[in-house]
């Protein structure tokens, strides 16, 4: 490649990374983008209702690890271990094909314009709105990362065993308050989790050989039936009693001792978080307002690393540039 072209490419990549996020970022360059994302999500919801919850979760797993940069969507390469196989993601994150479908649809109308990182943010918002939750205006203009870091994901993402105080500490590192933590955990109003994530709390909470005493007995009997000790741990259960509806049932369940994950139920057991669980269980509007605020703050996390607009969310564009270099 001509050195000047190489310099220009690098310049485009690095200077663009300083872009400011704002609503309506694609108003001139791709006015149909938000509509197209919404239409694909609507189809996904009909095809497989759980898939929108699975896509919603991407915002958390992307943004917490080096900012919202779609690093989580990169497939492994011979020289890079991606985040898909990180501890919290392997055999767990799913519905990547929905994002592929969105990206293909968006690329058809405005190629090379809309980032995969922004697609995650729009899709998470739409997943909430399409299942009965609030709608909010998203800030856009993110770039896609040039790499992924499995080790960072392993270090950062919280385990389902976490207690509230460790979650408070983790979230505070991202400028997310106790209220944000409780509201954002309320996204477990939709979707499912695997037996794998609760075996310890059913049979050996904190190494006691006993179940978590915070589980309401009838609910525990149901969980024992769903996840007996010999179960295939990929069997899934609902995260709340209305897993297709984005509502405040999750918080009502926590008050009743019917939280699925330890990291859910701990929010009621622990005093600092309990007041928000109680508030949201009684007042859905308060939950929705806090959720929107939390999602916006989560979506604002940035890496300040160089980026690009990927053509395919699963791989960086560099591969094409390499081909160009080689020829
Ligand atoms: C507070 C710390 C959190 C912990 C410890 C946690 C943990 C988990 C776990 C263990 C699962 C099930 C995984 C499995 O069994 O395969 C799950 C599912 C889910 N999480 Fe979280 N999560 C947290 C916060 C969040 C946040 C902030 C969001 C969204 C912004 C979110 C959205 C979801 C959704 C929608 C599902 C269901 C996905 C599906 O059905 O495929 N979670 N989470």
**Is 0.85 surpassed by the pTM of this model?**
yes
Instruction: For 239-259, write each residue's pLDDT tens digit.
Output: 999 999 999 999 999 999 999
Reported as a single tens digit per residue, the pLDDT across 268-302 is 999 999 999 999 999 999 999 999 999 999 999 99
What does the DSSP 8-state code read for residue 86? S
Supply the pLDDT for residue 319.
Answer: 58
Closest residue to atom 14 of ligand 1, CA basis: 193
Confidence of residue 325 (pLDDT cuts 50, 70, 90): very low
Over the stretch 118-135, which tens digit does the pLDDT of each residue have?
999 999 999 999 999 999
Indicate if ligand 1 lies below 6 Å from the C-beta of 162: yes
> What pLDDT sits at residue 19?
59
9-53 pLDDT per residue, tens: 444 444 444 459 999 999 999 999 999 999 999 999 999 999 999
Q: Does the beta carbon of 33 lie inside 6 Å of ligand 1?
A: no
Residue 245: C-alpha distances to residues 51, 132, 221, 296, 300 (Å): 13, 6, 24, 21, 26
Task: State whether the beta carbon of 191 lies less than 6 angstroms from ligand 1.
Answer: yes
Tell me the CA distances in angstroms from 298 to 103, 156, 239, 251, one per residue in order: 22, 14, 21, 21
Lowest mean pLDDT among 102-111, 267-276, 283-292, 318-327: 318-327
How far does the centroid of ligand 1 lie from the alpha carbon of residue 58, in Å? 9
Q: Which region among 16-20, 26-30, 66-70, 165-169 has the lowest average model confidence (pLDDT)?
A: 16-20
Nearest to 252 by CA among 281, 288, 280, 216: 281
Q: Whose CA is nearest to atom 17 of ligand 1?
A: 193
Residue 75 predicted with pLDDT over 90: yes
Phi and psi, residue 14, nearest 5°: -75, -40
Mean residue pLDDT across the chain? 93
Measured from the CB, is residue 310 less than 6 Å from ligand 1?
no
| pLDDT, tens only, 177-214 | 999 999 999 999 999 999 999 999 999 999 999 999 99
User: How many A from CA of 104 to the centre of ligand 1?
Assistant: 26
- Binning pLDDT at 50, 70 and 90, where does residue 303 land? confident
Domains defined along the chain, listed by start: 3-157+306-326 (1.10.520.10), 164-298 (1.10.420.10)
Name the residues annotated as catalytic: 61
How close is the Cα of 65 to the center of ligand 1, in Å? 15
d(C-alpha 320, C-alpha 325), whole Å: 9
* Axis crossing angle, helix 164-172 with helix 271-282, rounded to the nearest 10: 90
CA distances from 171 to 36, 210, 263, 298, 300 (A): 32, 29, 13, 10, 14
């Amino acid at each position: 490649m001509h050195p000047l072209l190489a310099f220009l490419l690098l310049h485009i990549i690095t200077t663009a990374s300083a872009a400011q996020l704002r609503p309506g970022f694609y108003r001139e360059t791709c006015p149909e983008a938000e509509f197209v994302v919404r239409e694909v999500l609507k189809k996904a919801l009909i095809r497989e209702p759980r898939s929108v919850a699975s896509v919603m979760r991407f915002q958390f797993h992307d943004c917490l690890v080096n900012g919202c940069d779609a690093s989580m969507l990169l497939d492994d390469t011979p020289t890079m271990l991606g985040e898909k196989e990180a501890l919290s993601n392997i055999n767990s994150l799913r519905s990547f094909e929905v994002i592929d479908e969105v990206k293909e649809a968006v690329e058809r109308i405005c190629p090379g314009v809309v980032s995969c990182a922004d697609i995650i943010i729009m899709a998470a918002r739409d997943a909430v709105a399409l299942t009965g939750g609030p709608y909010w205006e998203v800030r856009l203009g993110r770039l896609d990362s040039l790499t992924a870091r499995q080790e960072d994901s392993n270090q950062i993402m919280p385990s389902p065993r976490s207690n509230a105080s460790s979650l408070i500490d983790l979230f505070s590192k991202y400028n997310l308050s106790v209220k944000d933590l409780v509201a954002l955990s309320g996204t477990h109003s939709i979707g499912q989790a695997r037996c794998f994530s609760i075996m310890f709390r059913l049979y050996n909470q904190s190494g006691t050989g006993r179940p978590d005493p915070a589980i309401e007995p009838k609910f525990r009997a149901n969980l024992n039936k769903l996840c007996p000790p010999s179960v295939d741990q990929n069997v899934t259960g609902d995260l709340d009693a209305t897993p297709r509806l984005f509502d405040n049932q999750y918080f009502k369940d926590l008050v009743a001792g019917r939280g699925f994950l330890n990291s859910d139920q701990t929010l009621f057991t622990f005093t600092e978080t309990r007041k928000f669980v109680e508030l949201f269980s009684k007042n859905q509007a308060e939950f929705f307002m806090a959720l929107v605020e939390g999602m916006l703050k989560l979506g604002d996390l940035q890496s300040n690393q160089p980026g690009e607009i990927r053509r395919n969310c699963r791989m960086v564009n560099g591969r094409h540039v390499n081909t160009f270099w080689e020829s």
